[in-house]
Amino acid sequence: MTTSEDVCAIVPTVRNPDCVREYVANAREFGHADRLHFVLVTEDFCDVAGMEEMLDEEGVAGEVFGGERRDRWFARRGLGEYADLIPEASHAETSFGLLYMYEGGFEYGTFIDDDTRPHPEFDFFGGHLRNLAHEGAVEVVGSDEDWVNVLYQHDGDLYPRGYPYGAMDETVETRTERVDDVVVSQGLWTDVPDLDAVRILMDGDLQGQALTRLEREDYDRDFVAAPGDYLTVCSMNLAFRREVVPAFYQLPMDDNPWDVGRFDDIWSGVFLKRACDVLGTRVYSGTPLCVHEKAPRSTFSDLRNEAPALELNEHLWKLVDDVGADADSYRGVYRAMAEELAAGGFDEFENGEFLAYVGEHMARWLDCLAALDAPAAEARATADD
């Protein structure tokens, strides 16, 4: 990391690492390339050497981490006991990027999915940074169900992946307020909407995409979710300040005894929004848009990953909605939520024991960050390969 690199761009990739080239081109066009440091989180069965060569060809700073290299990263810092916080072959391995960003002292982080590309009319990185620095009027959106549908501007009944079924048919409430405390910038998407498998099936598609397509015109204005209201936070196009990392662990999906998947960013967004509400900070949504080019795959495969936690998703937000109210830090709110879930007692829900598993991992996430913060951590760390 150089003094000019203050944005850590985290890309989980096994399918299309070349997406990075388009984001670099966008950054160069708008004058941000020298601020970027890419972290590609991948698997050893992928072309790790080819990804490293790509970063060299593009002339941008960055590193590539397959599974073995991630394990070495933990071991060299004396943190081997925490390596299992990063699930294998899962989108949730973006959590490794958070640790890398946190230790490296980057002021900002971004999540970029490898099935996206920057929308041609937007300054991708600059737009996110402007959102995080926003000071002024913006639309504040809430609802009588305490949930904000980030696609509420779309002319149709479209709900994103992770939006609770019990919160549908909400009455949307909007107002304009001055906002100057943004810590998360969520960019939305054109082309393929981010829907869950049930909604994709209802839209008549068996190839995991949905027949509906989103256009630039489906988004009229940016907005923030009202305090006390939750929203789906999709990590395919996201920027955030370093300060939120303690409350933003991407949860242990796929590689778990219940085969739960597809809720890592959704549930992490629920926990982060709760922390933001306690601390008086905001989640900003809208532009910059990206183009979502989700590859065709079996809708039923996604359904198998989502089904074990569909009931839990209806209740999780209610379980943490009044937790951590007296905390004065992201760590404090997150610790309170972790303890609430780890205590268990959710047998009335299918796979309710998974919530205790999640709570235990959340607590260990905070312990891992504390170990990175410890004075001895710098002495333990040595230069990586």
pLDDT digits (tens, 9 = 90+) for 119-148: 999 999 999 999 999 999 999 999 999 999
pLDDT for residue 156: 77
Confidence of residue 3 (pLDDT cuts 50, 70, 90): low
For range 184-203, the mean pLDDT? 97
Is 122 among the domain residues?
yes
Of the candidates 51, 33, 71, 68, the one whose C-alpha atom is nearest the C-alpha of residue 114 is 51
What total number of domains does the chain contain? 1
Residue 88 lies in a domain: yes
Q: Is the dihedral of CA 203, 185, 30, 55 positive or negative?
A: negative
* Mean pLDDT value across residues 361-365: 98
Q: Which amino acid type is present at position 68? A: E
Q: Which residues constitute the domain of residue 275?
A: 7-380
**What is the per-residue pLDDT across 322-356, written as a single tens digit (0 to 9) for each?**
999 999 999 999 999 999 999 999 999 999 999 99
Residue at 364: amino acid letter: R
Confidence tier at 376 by pLDDT (50, 70, 90)? very low
Residue 1 lies in a domain: no
pTM: 0.95
- Tell me which DSSP letter residue 34 carries: G
In a domain, 2, yes or no: no
Six token digits for residue 3: 């003094």
Tokens of 324: 């951590």
Distance CA 148, CA 168 (A): 10
The reply to whether 28 falls in a domain is yes
pLDDT of residue 381: 55
Q: Does the residue 348 lie in any domain?
A: yes
Two structure tokens written together for 80: 């081997």
Asked whether residue 36 is domain-assigned, the answer is yes
Residue 385 lies inside a defined structural domain of this protein? no
